[in-house]
Amino acid sequence: MKTIDELLAEGVTGRRVFVRADLNVPLDGTTITDDGRIRAVVPTVKALADAGARVVVASHLGRPKGAPDPAFSLAPAAARLGELLGADVAFATDTVGESARATVAGLADGQVAVIENLRFNPGETAKDDAERGAFADQLAELADTYVGDGFGAVHRKHASVFDLPARLPHAAGYLIATEVGVLKKLTDEAKSPYAVVLGGAKVSDKLGVIDHLLDKADRILIGGGMAYTFLKAQGYEVGTSLLQEDQVQVVQDYLRRAEAKGVEFVLPVDVVTAAAFPDLGAKAATHPATVTAAEIPADQMGLDIGPETRKLYASKLADAATIFWNGPMGVFEHPDYAEGTRSVAQGLLDSSAFTVVGGGDSAAAVRLLGFDENAFGHISTGGGASLEYLEGKTLPGLAALED
């Protein structure tokens, strides 16, 4: 995989460099609530601009249905990128149309432009190879060279991720190089004890990574909504908690396999419950209660791990040499159910381990709860991509960057 440093050494002055970034940031209207993904691509964009390239930045945002939708415009992200670069960033109001062509043609050496949301064009996400390829052909007309730096999208076989690199000389940006290096440490070079913390809503989303990590991890800690399927698999009643009934037998099999391999599964011993899911906008008091994992009332749902579980999990992280965390322990967006996630984040910081926060909601929680991002070994920009890499899958966007 060619690196951006190799590309820069060849010289990029005057060349149009297409940077596939991941600017898929959360928005409240037009206000960006977490700019972490934009900040992550700045080193690559700045290095190219400083070297005299004419930089064309492209990304998706949200899930528009293959047509322009103002709610998913990249205009706020383009403005924020300009602020972070300390330079004007031009913005094209379409992807490959008149505005994009004119905006790119108007760039001088060292200038940067962002084109509109790639998913406004149905060719970006098309299942049909020819339709995807036709869009990639149009994108290729905007550039001389391709740099892949949108790690959060490399698990997607999309036109700008998979097809476009085949049409242009290509290299990996700084972010992708960093992400891949970190993930290799978790798969090929992980030091023991290796602790994995998995949370989030659905156990089905994590089965692949659990399967792969059974041969690598020493202990796996489970929280979030997925924990209740594990508790059900152990014979506990879980009230109205999130439950994937069809996965109970699958989970039982994983627990048996883990025991046979000597991998320790650590499940909640107590949980914080309430009668209903909280209103995240109101942040009003919700009358939470703490009960043991064996005594969840029939009319209550588990919304966070309890204080005894927090202590237990902290002890399981304290002596670890490597920790990977993906998925919150509860409804961290509400203060009544944030302590479990907060305690896991603190547990990573209190350890002397190499710590990786696996993107997605985990990364959002770290920022929302006020932790210093730089205190962690690495915070990934791609939750889904990180998980698929750890599952051992081939990621289309990485395969496309291989020479």
Compute mean pLDDT per 10 residues along the chain, 403 residues long, and list them: 96 98 93 92 98 98 95 97 98 98 98 98 97 98 98 96 98 96 90 96 89 93 97 96 96 96 97 94 86 97 98 98 96 95 97 91 90 92 88 94 87
Quote the pLDDT of residue 151. Answer: 95
* Segment 188-224, tens digit of pLDDT: 889 999 999 999 988 898 998 999 999 999 999 999 9
- Using alpha carbons, select from 334, 396, 358 the residue that is nearest to residue 344: 358
Quote the pLDDT of residue 383. Answer: 82
Q: Let me know if 360 is a catalytic residue.
A: yes
CB atoms closer than 10 angstroms to residue 127: 7
* 37 touches 381 (CB < 8 A): yes
Quote the pLDDT of residue 384. Answer: 87
Q: Please give the single-letter amino acid code of residue 386.
A: S
- Using CA atoms, how far apart are residues 144 and 15, in angstroms rounded to an integer? 6
- Using alpha carbons, select from 124, 33, 16, 109 the residue that is nearest to residue 77: 33
- Using alpha carbons, select from 220, 253, 26, 18 the residue that is nearest to residue 139: 18
Angstrom CA distances, 54 to 46, 101, 142, stand at: 11, 13, 11
Residue 360 annotated as binding?
yes
* 357 touches 344 (CB < 8 A): no
For residue 123 the two structure tokens come to 């060719």
The one catalytic residue in 202, 216, 367, 393 is 202
- Using CA atoms, how far apart are residues 29 and 305, in angstroms rounded to an integer? 32
The one catalytic residue in 223, 360, 382, 397 is 360
Quote the pLDDT of residue 13. Answer: 98
Q: Could you give phi then psi for residue 307, rounded to 5 degrees?
A: -65, -35
- Asked if the 4-173 domain carries CATH number 3.40.190.150, the reply is no
In the chain, which segments carry CATH 3.40.50.1260?
Answer: 4-173, 182-391
Burial of 36 (0-12, 13-18, 19+ CB in 10 A): middle
Residue 119 annotated as binding?
yes
Q: Please give the single-letter amino acid code of residue 259.
A: E
Residue 167 annotated as binding?
no
Residue 61 annotated as binding?
yes
Q: Let me know if 37 is a catalytic residue.
A: yes
- Using CA atoms, how far apart are residues 266 and 101, in angstroms rounded to an integer? 55
Superfamily for the 182-391 domain: Phosphoglycerate kinase, N-terminal domain (3.40.50.1260)
* 269 touches 308 (CB < 8 A): yes
Residue 50 annotated as binding?
no
In this prediction the pTM is: 0.88
Q: Let me know if 202 is a catalytic residue.
A: yes
Quote the pLDDT of residue 284. Answer: 79
* H or E stretch covering 180: helix 174-187
Degrees, nearest 5: CA angle 364-367-368: 80
- Helices (DSSP H) in 86-143: which residue ranges? 98-105, 129-140
Quote the pLDDT of residue 382. Answer: 85
Residue 73 annotated as binding?
no
CB atoms closer than 10 angstroms to residue 63: 11
Residue 326 annotated as binding?
no
Residue 361 annotated as binding?
yes
Residue 63 annotated as binding?
yes
The one catalytic residue in 37, 54, 157, 342 is 37
The one catalytic residue in 225, 340, 384, 397 is 384
